[in-house]
Structure 1
Amino acid sequence: MATTGAPDRNFLWSVFQKVDKDRSGAIEAQELQAALSNGNWTKFNPETIRLMIGMFDRTGSGTINFDEFGALWKYVTDWQQCFRSFDKDGSGNINREELQTAVTTFGYRFSDNFYNVLMKRFDRSGKGLIFFDDFIQCCVTLHTLTAAFSQHDTDRDGIITIGYEQFLHMVFSLRN
């Protein structure tokens, strides 16, 4: 995907038509997954694809139309630039140290042990590496969970008191 400037509408339309294999006028999860790559010949994680479609599907159809695709294109290219800025060794993946730098830069302050938890959750390869799609999923998940937590943290002290059912409702209501 392009990373400089906003692509023109004709360019986006040609890409959209290539991705929309069944010519339905909408892109579904399998079509989007086939079109996106981590830059290392691996397809995007189906969970990340589902997450992104859910974020940009304004009609609730489970697919994205052309206008929604344009917004998703910008979103992915912005994340691509972000990912590259933290991939200091240019390896095409993020190691634990690079992830910690990224997450800290985003304003989070976690223990070393929690970074181990993040690595375990988002390292699909089991090699201590997070690929581009999993980096997106990790960051969006952190943001979404933080927003849900913040709704209950009315005094902004980083501590909430909720019941078990409220907790389950909060977690299961997330769009990821």
Structure 2
Amino acid sequence: MAGVPDRNYLLSVFQKVDKDRSGAIDALELQTALSNGNWTPFNPDTVRLMIGMFDKANKNVITFEDFIHLWKYVTDWQQVFRSFDRDNSNNINKEELKTCLTTFGYRFSEPFFDVLMQKFDRTRKGVIYFDDFIQCCIVLQTMTAAFKELDEGKTGIATVSYEQFMMATTKIF
């Protein structure tokens, strides 16, 4: 789906998942609209992260206008995911994740890629599914932005107090 999807189609999807007809959808309702491509429900933590990103009113729900932007965000990530899922397995293994994140400009050690796999491989099968891939990328982007704020000299090294560290990391979750 290149570009912006048909507004009428998105409205029909939105209305289908807006079970209580409130004009806004919460995380549980949104979860029913999203697909992993492997018949499993979308990770609730990923759904909550995305609601937080697109909820302009800060009410833990998104309106139809927010939903349009979120849908585009998800489809853009889907294209990225598919481009790095070299074997078309509907998941990303460690090597594919390394290729992806290196392409994004991250320079992580082998042990850190192991940590990422441990954190985002919910099935413990050595692979990351689409929803967890989105979560991984959101967490990395958020942590990177928080670090850059603390790295005043732009040297890749930051000296922070415990409270500064806690403030920076609590923005992620």
TM-score range normalised by the length of the shorter chain: over 0.9
SS in 2 for 1:40: coil
Aligned residue pairs, count: 173
TM-score (norm 2): 0.97
Runs of 4+ deviating beyond 6 Å: none
Aligned equivalents of 2:2, 2:149: Cα separation in 1 = 36
SS in 1 for 2:80: helix
Aligned equivalents of 1:173, 1:16: Cα separation in 2 = 28
TM-score (norm 1): 0.96
Identity of aligned residues (%): 64
Aligned equivalents of 1:37, 1:70: Cα separation in 2 = 16
Counterparts of 1:20-39 in structure 2 under 5 Å?
20-39=18-37
Deviation at 1:141, TM superposition (A): 0.5
Match of 2:145 among 147, 156, 161: 147
Match of 2:114 among 113, 116, 126: 116
Q: Tell me if 1:158 matches 2:148.
A: no
RMSD after superposition: 0.8
Whichever residue aligns with residue 15 of structure 1, its letter is V
5+ unaligned residues in a row in structure 1: which ranges? Answer: none
Aligned equivalents of 1:167, 1:105: Cα separation in 2 = 27
Look up the match of 2:87.
89
Deviation at 1:149, TM superposition (A): 0.3
Q: Tell me if 1:50 matches 2:48.
A: yes
Contact 2:13 2:33 survives alignment (8 Å): no
Whichever residue aligns with residue 88 of structure 1, its letter is R
Whichever residue aligns with residue 156 of structure 2, its letter is G
Deviation at 1:8, TM superposition (A): 2.1
Aligned equivalents of 2:15, 2:167: Cα separation in 1 = 39
Aligned equivalents of 2:161, 2:151: Cα separation in 1 = 14
